Structure 1
Amino acid sequence: MTDNSFIADLSEAEDFLKANPDVVQFETFLTDSSGVQRGKILRRSELPGAYKHGRPLPCSILSLDIKGADVEETGLVWDEGDSDRMCRPVKGTLTRAPWKATPTGQFILTSYEKDGSGSLADPRHALARVVADCHAAGLYPAAAVELEFYLLDGKAAAEGRAVPPTAPNGFAQSEFQAYLLQDLSDFAPFLDDVYRAADGAGLPARTLISEYSPGQLEIVLEHRTDPLRACDDAILWKRLVKGVAEKHGYAATFMAKPFAEFAGSGTHLHVSFCDADGRNLFAGEEPDGNLLLRHAIAGLEATMAESMAMFAPNANSYRRFKPNSYAPVGPAWAIDNRSVPIRVTAGPPQTRHLEHRVCGADANPYVAMATVLAGMLEGVEQKLEPSKPIVGNGYAQIAPSLPRFWPDALRRARASEFLKRRLGERYADVFLTIKEAECDRFFAEVSDRDFHWYLRLA
């Protein structure tokens, strides 16, 4: 039975129109498996109808690779006659898009099959199914998404080059300088606009830091008791950051590794299991965590290697994974230690939760969150025991065992019974079919690097 509790009703649209009489159009979109937003623009008069009846989009919209080309092998193009699927607005996602010159609103869609069930190829429904499985086990996940990104020179980005930005005061970013407050002051006009836009959109943007590398930033989104809403926040947040950056003459990228010489950007997922009344079930005074916490950690360790294709979905994703990079090389965990992929956070016992540090910033939040929660649930249901917690430098103690390259990760995921069972066999197949086609297309291209290395010397 499909859970429709996250579908918005007409009153949300009517209230928004009354409160925003100047808005003349709406960007409405769903997020495909690659994490790309695809949809259409509606005029103001069309909004009530979209909320009352939904809006149709072709089923092939969920079978596109990251460049927008059809992946026919999914069976969602010609096999279906590219027929429509009804898409419904997601509750709580109707906001303004204040970076637009034309007064514009936006909202997230999710796709449904003709029989009214959630579309099996929609990554948001894959997450909804995992959350439902958690609830059936008496576990209620709370979650937050923490995203790192790079601010780049906008003109260079338009030319296909990644160049650190120059601040309005003329100072160029060029060197490692972690947590420097001066960087935040230099880019205050951009960051002030980001916070204003987040407040206007109801996004819970909190702590802001300048990260390790030039132009690299991170803003933490506050946790939600609903993982679906936490991932909606992440999608809206990425659009907001990109839009405001462009308005200021920059480009914002969530590529995992835009610079060979600088740090990669990650997606850190903060997760815990609660009871039906919202009490944190990971809370406790035990030094190495309570039994439920340890089972959840063990599930993540056991499923990490076969899940890498979901956490690192692109060729560029794998440039992050090397020793001493704040990206993992093998499954491990520790208490308040950032040299491992699973970090149990410090702080009061009632706030204890896991920080999953594997994903690149390019990961699809819905897919990544679904896979993490599925791994945790796997450990709990099978009562798995974790490894011993790491003390000290994890990179000196963890044997590299995760797939280091995209094709290897895809092969491991394709053979995974866990991913099929937890994410849904059809969704796992669609996701991997798209990524396998993408991988083939990526490595079929002849790049400038090929000529530079091999043209005269081979």
Structure 2
Amino acid sequence: MDNSQQYLQDFLQGNPDIEVFEVMLPDLGGGMRGKWINRDKIHKVVAGELKLPASSVAFDAWGRDIEAWIAAGGDGDGFCEADVGTLARVPWMARPTGQVLMSMREADGSPGALDARFILRNILQRFAQRGLTPVLATEMEFYLLGPESDSLGRPRHTQSDRVGGQLHAGQTYGLDTMADMAPLMHAIRDACTVQQLPVDTLIKEGAPSQYEINLLHCADALRACDQAVMLQRLIRGVARSHDLRATFMAKPFGDLAGNGMHVHCSVLDTAGNNVFDDGTVAGTPLLRQAIAGCLASMEDCMLLFAPHLNSYRRFRRGTHAPEAPCWGYENRTVSVRVPADQPAATRIEHRLAGADAHPHLVVAAILAGMLHGLEHALQPPPPVTGNAYDQVPRTLPRHWPEAVERFRSSGFIAEYFGAEFQRVFTLMKEQEMQEFDRHVTPLEYDTSL
């Protein structure tokens, strides 16, 4: 019996009541594809015997085939590879259920060119070849909403005024507001314990009905991203069991703060030392090279940080959503912040991505940028002191089509992510744009009818 089968066997013995498993394949749009597999068949999944159409890893936002890609390639099967390290109970399900994350290999057994977990692994291998190990932590913002929408289809807040209207603000860091949500928050904490997700803090965010949960740092970037997608699924599932809706949509409300996903990252050498630490608050030349690489690649990677039409509504002045590649020490108006901390904890906080983005692709883009800076010894501009919105011109793609075009023509994306991923992801976003172009909004009718 190989190690994976033994790990599975131990898990099954420890969870004798589990009846069915969700075998989950993260697709490029951030959705979860897969099947429900009976307990007595889960060993076949771990053995790599589960096949799914190759298109399963690259559906559009509505779960449809990418027609331009499928028509040319014929949509053959790929083999799914379960990661037994992600085996976990699903405590919010009514019946005893387990889950496991998978990657997709090509029919010949090679790593899937469109599998986000394999794309990230490829970048991590390039770090390892330099004797470096990234250490990551994610911060995830989300809204908790009522189960029903209003008469116009808009979501309803869980925080409201005395007559049921929207509050002006959401009591940032408000402990009384957290106490109002205590049953749900404790249920989330308990579920995280069951799934071994290392929660650091739970926070009330600035907008009404908005919250944030942070995970502890992890010296395995792939595991950190797996934990991030598991956390999102957990929050949605637990909220549903409490008759609420959790959303990671970038901008659910036009006049309120959006949902971001901030990523903290440092890098260790083979001796376990932080290569950004020089004993001072300034950090090492390697810190500045990594920052420079992030800034140099940021515009090309915008589509990964902001993958949807709604993503671009989040970027507004004064909202802590950056508009330009810039950096600074202890400055929340920049896109790459170096937080104040002990020198041994010197790190980058990448502040651009929305919570609607794919964690594996976001981290792959950040690490690829850092690697690019290290490989070419790039130098960043001076750090921004004060309000970056007033000092740095807006250069990041402002709208979705602009980001798609930048992504399509990027040599950086082709080098670090692969030409096939670049092509198919572009086709996916073009198909989604065409769908949105078919629909006329109520505001257009109000304006022009």
TM-score normalised over the length of structure 1:
0.94
1:412 Cα shift? 0.9
Partner-residue secondary structure (3-state), 1:361: coil
Does structure 2 retain, via aligned residues, the 8 Å contact 1:321–1:329?
yes
1:285 aligns with 2:279: yes
Name the SS of the counterpart of 2:245 in structure 1.
Answer: strand
1:244 to 238, 247, 254: 238
In 2, are the aligned partners of 1:8 and 1:91 still within 8 Å (CA)?
Answer: no
Distance change in 2, residues 1:158/1:139 (3 Å) = farther
Change (3 A) 1:102 1:340: same
Which residue of structure 1 lines up, in the alignment, with residue 256 of structure 2?
262
- SS of 1:148's equivalent? strand
Determine if the alignment matches structure 1 residue 15 to structure 2 residue 15: no
- Matched residues in 1 for 2:375 and 2:359: separation? 24
Secondary structure of 1:130's partner?
helix
Does residue 42 of structure 2 align to residue 82 of structure 1?
A: no
Q: 2:25 is paired with a residue of what secondary structure? A: strand
Task: List per-residue Cα deviations over 1:120-163 (Å, max 9, x = no partner).
Answer: 01111111111111111222111112110000011228984221
1:355 to 313, 332, 349: 349
Rounded to whole Å, the distance in 2 between the matches of 1:159 and 1:124 is 39
Instruction: Report whether the alignment pairs 1:220 with 2:214.
Output: yes
Question: Which residue among 333, 338, 342 is the counterpart of 2:332?
Answer: 338
Superposition pairs of residues 44-443 of structure 1, within 5 angstroms: 44-74=39-69, 77-156=70-149, 160-165=153-158, 174-176=167-169, 177-443=171-437
Could you tell me how far apart the structure 2 residues matched to 1:416 and 1:304 are? 11
Which whole-Å CA distance do the structure 1 matches of 2:394 and 2:163 have between them?
43
Q: Structure 2: which amino acid aligns with 1:274?
A: L
8 Å contact kept, 2:199–2:216: yes
Which one is further off, 331-340 or 148-157?
A: 148-157
CA-to-aligned-CA distance 1:367-415 (integer Å, 9 cap, x gap): 1111110001111111111010111222221111111100001111111
Structure 1 runs of 4+ aligned residues shifted over 6 Å read 169-173
For the residues of structure 1 that align with 2:345 and 2:351, how far apart are their CA atoms? 18
What is the distance in 2 between the residues matched to 1:38 and 1:161?
27
Deviation at 1:54, TM superposition (A): 3.6
CA distance in 2, matches of 1:318, 1:82: 32
The answer to whether the 8 A contact 1:335-1:346 is kept is: yes
Where 1:154 maps in the other structure, the secondary structure is strand
After superposition, what is the alpha-carbon deviation per residue over 1:252-287, rounded to whole angstroms, capped at 9, x for unaligned? 000000001110110101111111233211112344
1:445 aligns with 2:434: no
Give the 3 Å change call, closer, same or farther, for CA 170–261 of structure 1 in structure 2.
Answer: closer
Task: Return the alpha-carbon distance in structure 2 between the equivalents of residues 331 and 323 of structure 1.
Answer: 14
1:429 Cα deviation after fit? 1.6
Cα distance, 1:19 vs structure 2: 0.8
CA shift digits 1:281-332 (9 cap, x unpaired): 1112344321000000001111111110110000000001121110011111
For 2:107 and 2:392, locate their aligned partners in 1 and report how far apart those are by CA, in whole Å. Answer: 48
Given that residues 324 and 394 in structure 2 are in contact (C-alpha distance below 8 angstroms), is that contact kept between their aligned partners in structure 1?
yes
Give the drift of 1:348: 0.8
- With over 3 angstroms needed to count, the CA separation of the structure-2 counterparts of 1:166 and 1:304, relative to structure 1, is closer
Please state how far the C-alpha of 1:72 moved relative to its aligned partner: 2.0
Q: Could you tell me whether the CA contact under 8 Å between 1:299 and 1:377 is conserved in 2?
A: yes
Q: Does the 8 A contact of 1:153 with 1:166 survive in 2? A: no
Whether contact under 8 Å (1:173, 1:215) holds in the other structure is no
Deviations 1:413-447 (A, max 9, x none): 11110011011111122212111211122122223
**Alpha carbons of 1:20 and 1:382: their partners in 2 closer, same or farther (altered >3 Å)?**
same
- Cα distance in structure 2, aligned partners of 1:416 and 1:425: 10
* Equivalent AA in structure 1 for residue 18 of structure 2: V
Q: Distance in 2 between matches of 1:453 and 1:392?
A: 39
Percent identical pairs in the alignment equals 40
C-alpha change, 1:158 and 1:361, in structure 2 (3 Å) is farther
**How far apart are 1:186 and its partner, in Å?**
0.1
Query: Any conservation in 2 of the 1:183–1:210 contact (CA below 8 Å)?
Result: yes
Q: CA deviation at 1:203?
A: 0.3
Q: Aligned equivalents of 2:178 and 2:64: distance in 1?
A: 39
State the distance in 1 between where 2:272 and 2:147 align: 44
Mapped pair 1:32 → 2:21: no
Structure 1 residue identity aligned to 2:85: G
Aligned counterparts of 1:16 and 1:236: Cα–Cα separation in 2: 18
Partner residue, 1:3: none
1:171 CA drift (Å): 9.0
TM-score of the aligned structures, taking structure 2 as reference length: 0.96
Provide the rounded CA distance (Å) in 1 between the counterparts of 2:241 and 2:112. 35
Deviation at 1:52, TM superposition (A): 2.1
Please state whether the residue corresponding to 2:300 is helix, strand or coil: helix
Of 77-86 and 432-441, more deviation after overlay is shown by: 77-86
One-letter identity of the residue aligned with 2:365: T
Counterpart of 1:4 in structure 2 is none
Alpha-carbon deviations, 1:84-131, whole Å to 9, x = none?
Answer: 211011131110111111111111010001221111011111111111
How many residues are paired up?
446
Q: Determine if contact 2:46/2:81 at 8 Å carries over to the other structure.
A: yes
Q: What RMSD, in angstroms, separates the aligned Cα atoms of the two structures? A: 1.9
Q: Could you tell me how far apart the structure 2 residues matched to 1:191 and 1:172 are?
A: 23
Pick which of 389-398 and 150-159 moved more. Answer: 150-159
* Cα drift, residue 50 of structure 1: 1.4
